[in-house]
């Protein structure tokens, strides 16, 4: 499957870049900023999080009992463990599609912090934005439902590294969620340049990495907690932290850096998972 995935992505990139020459910049941003439809079998590790049936964030299966997501997904609306469900095995946003599992426990990073910034009323300074959800029973794996491996703690991220992100986030600030899973092809950007562009929003620290879409795509509301995978090794390298205004020019999107938290993940799942 990995070879097919790489060939498919290569064809997407070639077609997309060929198309850019016939469009002006505004057309490209309008049509491509928030992804393209994802093939049904490409993201077996992708999950939807729901509260009382209402979708609010993404996540990734890393074990038959554990989902990895962003801490702010669980804290923002004060979600309660017994009200949250995890849906697997579908590209559709329809609550009735896929297999539903109940959450049993939330594990937030102990040093997760969030503080309002006056300059950006809807923005927050968030650090250690990572969390685990333990489901109440084993997730049944098949062609459409599989865990994703994590990169090791000593993994070296490189500028230009190809990433594949997926989610049901908004296409723009004022739009509604798509009914079909979308994907974005991106590349890791220079860390220092990203820190500088985000300085009025939050401090981009060593627990984060930044990316830009190959055609200016970005993460948006609803993508939070979703997976970012290295397309060459098919391993999870990040989870969606956020973006400025769904991809404001000059602001790369930010991910929580998985390698920085591998030891934390091991510590809180050691009776279940060995990385």
138 is catalytic: no
Of 129, 219, 259, 268, catalytic: 129
Which residues does residue 227 pair with via DSSP β-bridges, in sequence order? 239
**Separation CA 16–CA 149 (nearest Å):** 29
| Locus of tokens 């049904």 | 40
Token digits of residue 232: 């060459």
How many residues in total does the chain contain? Answer: 275
**Separation CA 208–CA 46 (nearest Å):** 21
Rounded to the nearest 10 degrees, how much is the dihedral formed by the CA atoms of 237, 189, 49, 4? -60
**Separation CA 63–CA 208 (nearest Å):** 23
Of 218, 224, 243, 259, catalytic: 224
Residue 216 in 3-state DSSP?
coil
Query: Do 195 and 208 form a contact (C-beta atoms < 8 A)?
Result: no
129 is catalytic: yes
Residue 189 in 3-state DSSP?
coil
Token digits of residue 204: 């981009």
In 21-66, which ranges are continuous DSSP H helix?
A: 25-32
Query: Do 116 and 124 form a contact (C-beta atoms < 8 A)?
Result: yes
Of 50, 63, 72, 260, catalytic: 72
**CB under 8 Å to 156, separation ≥6 — which residues?**
none
Token digits of residue 9: 């992505």
CA 187 to chain centre: 14
Q: Give the active site residues.
A: 72, 129, 224
């Amino acid at each position: 499957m990995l070879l097919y995935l790489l060939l498919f992505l290569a064809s997407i990139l070639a077609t997309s870049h060929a198309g850019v020459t016939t469009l002006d910049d505004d057309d490209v941003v309008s049509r491509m900023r928030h992804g393209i439809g994802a093939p049904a079998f490409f993201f077996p590790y992708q999950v939807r999080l729901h509260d009382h049936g209402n979708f609010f964030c993404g996540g990734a299966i890393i074990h038959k009992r554990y989902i990895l997501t962003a801490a702010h997904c669980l804290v923002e609306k004060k979600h309660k463990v017994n009200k949250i469900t995890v849906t697997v095995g579908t590209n559709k946003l329809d609550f009735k599609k896929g297999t539903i599992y109940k959450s049993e426990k939330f594990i937030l990073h102990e040093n997760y912090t969030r503080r309002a910034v006056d300059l950006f009323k809807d923005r927050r300074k968030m650090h250690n934005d990572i969390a685990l959800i333990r489901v109440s029973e084993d997730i049944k794996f098949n062609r459409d439902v599989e865990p994703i491996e994590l990169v090791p703690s000593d993994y070296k991220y490189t500028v230009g590294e190809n990433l594949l992100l997926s989610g049901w986030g908004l296409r723009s600030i004022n739009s509604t969620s798509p009914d079909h899973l979308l994907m974005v092809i991106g590349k890791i950007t220079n860390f220092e340049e990203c820190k500088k562009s985000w300085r009025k929003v939050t401090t981009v620290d060593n627990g984060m990495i930044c990316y830009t879409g190959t055609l200016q795509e970005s993460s948006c509301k609803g993508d939070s907690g979703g997976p970012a995978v290295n397309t060459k090794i098919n391993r999870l390298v990040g989870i969606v932290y956020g973006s400025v205004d769904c991809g404001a020019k000059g602001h790369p999107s930010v991910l929580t850096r998985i390698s920085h938290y591998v030891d934390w993940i091991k510590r809180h799942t050691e009776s279940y998972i060995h990385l």
